[in-house]
Structure 1
């Protein structure tokens, strides 16, 4: 039954016509996208104080495994300790501030190559070369206890590693709030990067990327081949704190006008975007064939519940493969849920797989440039995950990774938009009701950046 599943909140969420827009920010100042002063406020009031995804838990699967995370000119390391706990530390020796890690690796301890001070995986100072401190041995032991690596909050959810540069940050569970309970049944922690996993520099502000993936209004102009499968009048929304989700039934715009065979063919086209659906198609076809007559024709006068048959096939197929989908509603099996975890995490997800898009400010601080990380995650049985895992591809500057059609279209469009946003005479953007999630996102951003950092 769906009524006892968290996803019902989204299944039954309001449509656009039912939303009260009085509290949303429908005019967005354009200087947010190109102003160096605003970018500096974002740095100090948002990025240095908020939880952000820095990797996957399987980037450091074993004790001693570590990786570096950089943001602007800041650097931290995430390491799995001997107790298997993930911890985060400022990437600077407590002696003279030397950065002692770069990239990723494995170590029994961290040793600064400048003066050979060494630290345990828990950040504690283990030893120094020739401890020439003023005072007694007892005083040195006291200093040693105070000179461990500076720790920052690190936690995990859904297989993602989150880090917060602010040592006084609220717990991750409080930051995610209701969103964690809604996303938990997908079991993202059991998914593996598969197919593509790319980080690339792009010539636009990081928010342009987040904006682009919070609305389907641009599909008619940028992705005309997807128009037949989208109808935003059927979208439902749910807002939970700083985060939000939207969903629309697959094929909403053409279900009433399409023949049964056209709807079936549309379902067969789904693996072009979500490859894991292919495994459910044989069972789906078998269920549909039960409605066909001896000549293989579907009855014209009897409704065939194509959508429900797809959901049944997906539930049966995933369960047979070993994925527990008992916590998902029928709609979460087949329909894409479009999530934004503030500030920079977008995921479109349904049973067994998802596409993740994250954007990060450029290390130079230039608000007209950023990085995006595009990643497909898919569920496989445990014994297959290591073999299936696709490592990250970091695209060198001035080179480009060729994405699939829709994503390539977005890549080009977002850079065109940034060129327009830099025009100083246009002072604000005017959002439509179909862009309600942008309005929510920018209202949240204002509460962090323009109200002197509320966290």
Structure 2
């Protein structure tokens, strides 16, 4: 394995160009202190060194399609407005009137005429400039006063259809933070054209890093998701990784369980029970399968053919037939989910035509044993189908009232259990294993930010 970026003809071919993780790897510390999940003091360090200085995803570009559309993003006690200006550009501002600090906005909405503070009626345009105030002449509010009292701006940019915001006005550009490797490897998926088909957010009783850790490894599948083992075959030795300055990607081949051709086919046909989106490609899969069926209905594959390859071809044919461009993706990317971590709190599994995103932020009440988790799914769809399948954000108020799909529900139940264990005083560290190297890497990045080692 190498931490160097591997450039290939098709970006996704990096999987075949890197070595597996060596057995004697010592790239990252495999012990993680537990106080970082429970300590108020540690969370305050994260607040100052990470959350107040980092690019973080605050929504999707298509949430704010019209001039004047705005939404609020809150991290800890800090509140920001993201708005689309008259020039169609997205901007971010501190959510506070420059007069007496009153909050300007709550939730989301549209402000074609700009923002009006309801306290003393000071107003601002969509570019953040102060337009006026109550009884300007009597209060001697001059042109100079207006020039000095515009809304405080924060950096906002977008990538892959996601809106990023950084609370630090002096932050390095988003492109520099992501790095050219991330942009190149993700470009062929065309994430900016994906449509939100699930979007759920709720408070959960665990530290935000417990959420990130849970989705940064597949070691827990046997214990938490045994139903997946009926369909997929796990072989950690085939996993491949790339580590960048602050982000990483990992991938393991998607292989259905079964030694015989018929067993592989049966596994593919059972996929929609666990992975509903695969139902759309099964008709084409069955068409491709006909040439390998004998007169008695049995399936025999010649050398070089298997159910995985037919699934990949069926996926490419189906998406292409829908008018979607997947030409920049490899065959493996038709079937294999790549697991992306964008520091500090974005995890995404992505393959041709779909992706699933997990994010977590500290709870605004400051309790390190709680967080807000945000789960969403996106699909690459023809333009004529996007509005019909697009969904709005669901904010869950009553814990446990929203039922996630099976595997996600199992994680939802498991994560608070881990937090309870982490609160035991004598447990001073977690011990990671080789399959959890992404967690080790992730915490090494966190350590570097806390130490001031990343600019």
TM-score interval for Structure 1 and Structure 2 normalised by the shorter chain = over 0.9
Q: How many aligned residue pairs are there? A: 445
Cα distance in 2 for partners of 1:300, 1:150 equals: 64
Structure 2 regions of 5+ residues with no counterpart? 1-6
Cα distance in 1 for partners of 2:222, 2:294 equals: 38
Cα distance in 2 for partners of 1:336, 1:119 equals: 45
The alpha-carbon deviation at position 322 of structure 1 amounts to 1.5
Task: Name the SS for the 1:304 alignment partner.
Answer: coil
Could you tell me which residue of structure 1 aligns to residue 13 of structure 2? 8
- Pairing partner for 2:228 from 226, 229, 233: 226
Question: Is 1:17 aligned to residue 22 of structure 2?
Answer: yes
The alpha-carbon deviation at position 100 of structure 1 amounts to 1.0
Task: Name the SS for the 1:278 alignment partner.
Answer: helix
Cα distance in 1 for partners of 2:138, 2:364 equals: 37
Could you tell me which residue of structure 2 aligns to residue 285 of structure 1? 286
The alpha-carbon deviation at position 10 of structure 1 amounts to 3.1
The alpha-carbon deviation at position 224 of structure 1 amounts to 1.5
Paired residues of 1:45 and 1:453 also in contact (CA < 8 A): no
Paired residues of 1:357 and 1:373 also in contact (CA < 8 A): yes
Could you tell me which residue of structure 1 aligns to residue 156 of structure 2? 154
Q: 1:299 to 1:134 in 2, by over 3 A?
A: closer
Query: What is the CA deviation profile of residues 257-288 of structure 1, one whole-angstrom value per residue up to 9, with x for unaligned ones?
Result: 52111111222233334333222211111111
The alpha-carbon deviation at position 3 of structure 1 amounts to 5.0
Cα distance in 1 for partners of 2:278, 2:385 equals: 18
Question: Is 1:49 aligned to residue 53 of structure 2?
Answer: yes
Task: Name the SS for the 1:402 alignment partner.
Answer: coil
Cα distance in 2 for partners of 1:50, 1:300 equals: 51
Task: Name the SS for the 1:290 alignment partner.
Answer: helix
Cα distance in 2 for partners of 1:50, 1:3 equals: 30
Q: 1:6 to 1:429 in 2, by over 3 A?
A: same
Matches within 5 A, 1:408-419: 408-419=409-420
Task: Name the SS for the 2:22 alignment partner.
Answer: helix
- Pairing partner for 2:119 from 111, 114, 118: 114
Q: Could you tell me the TM-score, scaled by structure 1's length?
A: 0.94
Question: Is 1:250 aligned to residue 251 of structure 2?
Answer: no
Which region of structure 1 is more displaced relative to structure 2, 330-339 or 222-231? 222-231
Question: Is 1:66 aligned to residue 67 of structure 2?
Answer: no
Paired residues of 2:199 and 2:377 also in contact (CA < 8 A): yes
Cα distance in 2 for partners of 1:72, 1:345 equals: 17
Q: Could you tell me the TM-score, scaled by structure 2's length?
A: 0.94
Cα distance in 2 for partners of 1:133, 1:442 equals: 57
Which region of structure 1 is more displaced relative to structure 2, 200-209 or 294-303? 294-303
Which region of structure 1 is more displaced relative to structure 2, 300-309 or 58-67? 300-309
Query: What is the CA deviation profile of residues 195-249 of structure 1, one whole-angstrom value per residue up to 9, with x for unaligned ones?
Result: x311011000000000000111111111112235222121111112211111111
Paired residues of 2:61 and 2:161 also in contact (CA < 8 A): yes
Cα distance in 1 for partners of 2:301, 2:115 equals: 71
Paired residues of 1:14 and 1:238 also in contact (CA < 8 A): no
Query: What is the CA deviation profile of residues 288-316 of structure 1, one whole-angstrom value per residue up to 9, with x for unaligned ones?
Result: 11122333322377563322221111111
Q: 1:423 to 1:156 in 2, by over 3 A?
A: same
Question: Is 1:428 aligned to residue 429 of structure 2?
Answer: yes
Matches within 5 A, 1:52-451: 52-108=56-112, 109-131=114-136, 140-177=142-179, 178-194=181-197, 196-227=198-229, 229=232, 230-251=234-255, 254=257, 258-299=259-300, 304-449=305-450, 451=451
Cα distance in 2 for partners of 1:44, 1:364 equals: 16
Which region of structure 1 is more displaced relative to structure 2, 368-377 or 185-194? 185-194
Task: Name the SS for the 2:366 alignment partner.
Answer: coil
Paired residues of 2:269 and 2:282 also in contact (CA < 8 A): yes
Paired residues of 1:14 and 1:236 also in contact (CA < 8 A): yes
* Shift >4 Å, 4+ stretches: 132-135, 300-303
The alpha-carbon deviation at position 23 of structure 1 amounts to 2.8
Q: 1:301 to 1:48 in 2, by over 3 A?
A: closer
Root mean square deviation of aligned Cα: 1.8
Structure 1 regions of 5+ residues with no counterpart? none
